DNA sequence: ATGAAAGCGCTAACAA
DNA sequence: TTGTTAGCGCTTTCAT
């Protein structure tokens, strides 16, 4: 015990191409050519080199290779946390699309901390990532704008690309791509679904003032209310933020204060999960007493009690689209804005209000 | 001026330490010393260099740095898929613990394909990862054994470490660490919970013959049956494998064939989710008509209908433990075997059988 | 205190 | 067809 942390006892060196060359009785240049395969090398020597490499269990040093130019393409996805079902799906989409193209994919988690986000992007710059994908809504303040403008400029300066998933570009002219869902339309649609069922007193649970994604959903919610002739005063937005715990607590408190509503639009499915639990704890039933809808249609939303009616946002496709679009056309990659469609998934958490 | 090549066209090249040095009016050696900070450099020159670096938005080339020795420590986690709640939690644990130590963490998804697993490990060798963590149960055949023996030997040869999370070491002498849960004990405990409630006809849903994790759970299930004096013939194992879809279909089929059971032990929580749905579809109720227990206690298990009684496996802690242990003591890192504790979480999916 | 020079492992000219 | 020679960007002796 008591060794220097992190350092291996024996500094055993990796097998280099030089040893392979020696064993095969050729120069390193020839060995390199035989190994890479894209240069004319007679079969006899090629097999000899390949054999030597196999015998020695040689793997090329990616750093040396990167240094000289032919580095492996690397993409990076940055999310709040990988345990969020929605983010996990986006990350899986990015990873899948990247893998399909032979790219390496690195996943970074920031825990929502801008500081860690900056460090991670910096790190990716050092590692020579050619594609950085930032995922998730943010509060769009000046700090955010200058941060992202800097990322974009720095990444572009070294030929890398930046894509913003579900968050806005601070300025249409910065070299960044944005791919996102139409949050407002989605929220308008689910709220409309509730309205069509006869609900009039609907609360939005999970606002997060300043956060672009949530603000848009709130806007959609309000627009739907207006379209159906419901006075704005009849609406109510509870700004509890996202997450199951937040939804649970906020819903419990709201129920203690009033029961003057018949339906709730949750900021996302996790908030809905918490709300569902709080409603049950209060002795009410969904959808008989109150209807609930969520957002995102995470994989387990249909296993909630009751199965959740929600807005399907094809998260994996968002991830795939991000890399696909970023890699498509270098010249079009700037200022581009792509919006992916969403749709409602009707399950069993919505019914007509009592007496309707 | 002072640039070696015309920088008139696309700003594709990264800023190098050389440009920083020139701008600060020092040699690259001095710039390097000032930047790294661990060498005696007068404050005046240091600030000059730092300023130049900041002005140029310089970031060191990680590849060049790695090549010369002082590379960034990198850890890699390999899972089937990041969208599995359990794997996501393990990955988050690894990433958190790695980040705490200033390590970079790469997440790889194999989709369960050994071929992709091999490619990914190879890739990590090329990138110089110092720690590779393979997560999840596997079918332990000869191919697996030789594959892992090779990983272990190759990684160790270059001073890197291999840790197996929830899967066995093919041979206690290979240089690999294993960290896992006691699957048998966990399954024995939940099954015992069911038996104590009075159940005698209990089926295990989600066997996967050859898979080490599932085989152990089945063994625990059988052991519990035996301990409670239930004849082995009264037990039944449905080998439908893992995943919600598998659990849904297998449960539906089983229900069509027989209703001679009062409880089901699911291979994991996702299987339980599918089973719950199938049971409801058949017009039966949980836990009144049939009790159900899961495995892993994924974050949304308490939102199932009804909230699921299951075995809590601290997944994030598994990930953290993997890196902590691997980095602890170089000399003890071989042949070590660590087992993390689990416990039952009682919720509402279990009741006494009718007439008990 | 600082600069010149020697590589790290690899690929890509350029010769032979 | 092959070997020799330059570097890629950086850190680190070894001089100064």
> pLDDT tens digits, chain B, 356 residues: what are they?
333 232 333 446 899 999 999 999 999 999 999 998 878 889 999 999 999 999 999 999 999 999 987 788 999 999 999 999 999 999 999 999 998 998 888 888 888 889 889 988 998 999 899 999 999 989 899 999 999 999 999 999 988 999 999 998 988 889 999 999 999 999 999 999 999 999 999 999 999 999 999 999 999 999 999 999 999 999 999 999 999 999 999 999 999 999 999 999 999 999 999 999 999 999 999 999 999 999 999 999 999 999 999 999 999 999 999 999 999 876 655 558 999 999 999 999 999 998 76
Look up residue A9 and give its two tokens. Answer: 């006892």
Please determine, for residue A140, whether its predicted confidence score (pLDDT) is greater than 50: yes
CA gap A225, A193 in Å, rounded: 11
- What are the residue ranges of helices labelled H in chain B? 17-24, 28-36, 43-56, 62-67, 85-100, 114-127, 142-157, 183-196, 212-227, 244-257, 269-281, 315-328
Q: Which residues in chain A touch residue B331, judged by CB atoms under 8 angstroms apart?
A: 3, 9
Q: Residue A335 — φ and ψ, nearest 5°?
A: 75, 0
Q: Tell me the chain B residues in contact with residue A305 when contact means C-beta distances shorter than 8 Å.
A: 303-306
Sign of CA dihedral B61, B65, B71, B72: negative
* Distance in Å from the first CA to the final CA of chain B: 90
Residue B309, helix vs strand vs coil: strand
Number of A to B CB contacts under 8 A, please give it.
181
Q: Cβ B85–A83 below 8 Å, yes or no?
A: yes
Asked if the Cβ–Cβ distance from B107 to A95 is below 8 Å, we say yes
Q: At what angle do helices B17-24 and B43-56 cross, to 10 degrees?
A: 130
Give the CA diameter of chain A. 90
Q: On the CB side of A120, how many CA atoms lie within 13 Å of its CA?
A: 28
Straight-line distance from CA A28 to C1' D5, in Å? 12
Token digits of residue A12: 């055993």
Residue B161, strand partner residues: B131
**Cα R_g (chain B), whole angstroms:** 27
Q: Which of B59, B305, B329 is nearest to A347 (CA)?
A: B305
Q: Which two tokens stand for residue A252?
A: 């419990």
Q: What are the Cα distances from residue B30, in Å, to A137, B35, B289?
A: 43, 8, 77
| Per-position DSSP letters for B208-245, written without gaps between them | -TTBHHHHHHHHHHHHHHHHTT--GGG-EEE---SSHH
Say yes or no to pLDDT of A318 above 90.
Answer: yes
Give the distance, in angstroms, between the CA of residue A266 and the centroid of all CA atoms in the same chain: 20
Q: pLDDT, tens digit, for every residue of A193-251?
A: 999 999 999 999 999 999 999 999 999 999 999 999 999 999 999 999 999 999 999 99
CA B21 to C1' C1, whole Å: 16
C1' (D15) to CA (B134) span, angstroms: 49
Q: How far is CA A267 from CA A5, B55, B233, in A?
A: 45, 42, 50
Burial of A118 (0-12, 13-18, 19+ CB in 10 A): middle
CA distances from B280 to A19, A160, A307, B289 (A): 65, 51, 12, 10
Query: What average pLDDT does this structure show over A142-147?
Result: 94
DSSP structure string for B59-107 = ---HHHHHHTT-PPPEEEEEES-TTSHHHHHHHHHHHHHHHHTT-EEEE
Give, rounded to a whole angstrom, the gap between the first and last alpha carbons of chain A: 73
Closest-approach nucleotide to residue B46, Cα vs C1': C1
Q: Which residue minimizes Cα–C1' distance to C6?
A: B68
The verdict on a CB contact (< 8 Å) between A83 and B89 is yes
| Separation in Å, CA of B301 to nearest CA in chain A | 9
From B57, B122, B128, residue closest to A63, measured CB to CB: B128
| Token pair for B153 | 């030997």
Q: Do A62 and B128 touch (CB under 8 A)?
A: yes
Torsion from C-alpha of A199, A200, A206, A207, nearest 10 degrees: 150
> Distance (Å, rounded) from C-alpha B307 to C-alpha A171?
46
Lookup: tokens for B214: 């599932």
SS3 of B49, please?
A: helix
d(CA B257, CA B260) in angstroms, rounded, equals: 9
Pairing of strands A202-205, A236-238: parallel
């Amino acid at each position: 015990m008591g060794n220097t942390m992190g350092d291996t006892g024996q500094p055993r060196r990796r097998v280099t191409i030089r040893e392979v060359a020696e064993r095969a009785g050729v120069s390193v240049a020839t060995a390199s050519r035989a190994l890479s395969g894209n240069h004319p090398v007679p079969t006899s020597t090629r097999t000899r080199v390949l054999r030597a490499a196999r015998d020695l269990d040689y793997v090329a040093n990616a750093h040396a290779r990167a240094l000289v130019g032919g580095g492996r393409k690397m993409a990076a996805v940055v999310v709040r946390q990988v345990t969020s079902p929605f983010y996990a799906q986006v990350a899986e989409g990015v990873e899948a699309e990247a893998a399909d193209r032979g790219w390496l994919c690195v996943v970074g988690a920031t825990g929502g901390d801008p500081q860690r986000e900056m460090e991670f992007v910096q790190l990716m710059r050092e590692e020579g990532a050619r594609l950085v994908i930032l995922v998730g809504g943010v509060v769009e303040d000046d700090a955010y704008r200058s941060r992202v403008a800097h990322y974009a400029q720095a990444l572009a300066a070294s030929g890398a690309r930046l894509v913003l998933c579900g968050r806005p570009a601070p300025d249409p002219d910065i070299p960044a791509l944005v791919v996102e869902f139409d949050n407002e339309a989605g929220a308008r649609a689910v709220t409309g679904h509730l309205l069509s069922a006869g609900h009039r007193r609907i609360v939005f649970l999970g606002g997060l003032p300043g956060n672009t994604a949530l603000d848009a959903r709130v806007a959609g919610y309000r627009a739907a209310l207006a379209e159906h002739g419901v006075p704005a005063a009849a609406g109510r937005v509870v700004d509890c933020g996202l997450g199951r715990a937040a939804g649970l607590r906020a819903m419990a408190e709201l129920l203690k204060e009033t029961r003057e509503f018949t339906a709730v639009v949750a900021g996302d499915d996790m908030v809905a999960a918490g709300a569902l639990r709080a409603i049950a704890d209060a002795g009410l039933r969904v959808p008989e007493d109150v209807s609930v809808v969520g957002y995102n249609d995470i994989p387990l939303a249909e296993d909630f009690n009751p199965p959740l009616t929600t807005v399907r946002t094809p998260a994996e496709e968002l991830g795939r689209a991000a890399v696909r679009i970023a890699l498509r056309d270098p010249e079009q990659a700037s200022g581009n804005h792509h919006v992916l469609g969403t749709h409602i998934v009707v399950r069993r958490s919505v019914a007509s209000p009592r007496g309707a």
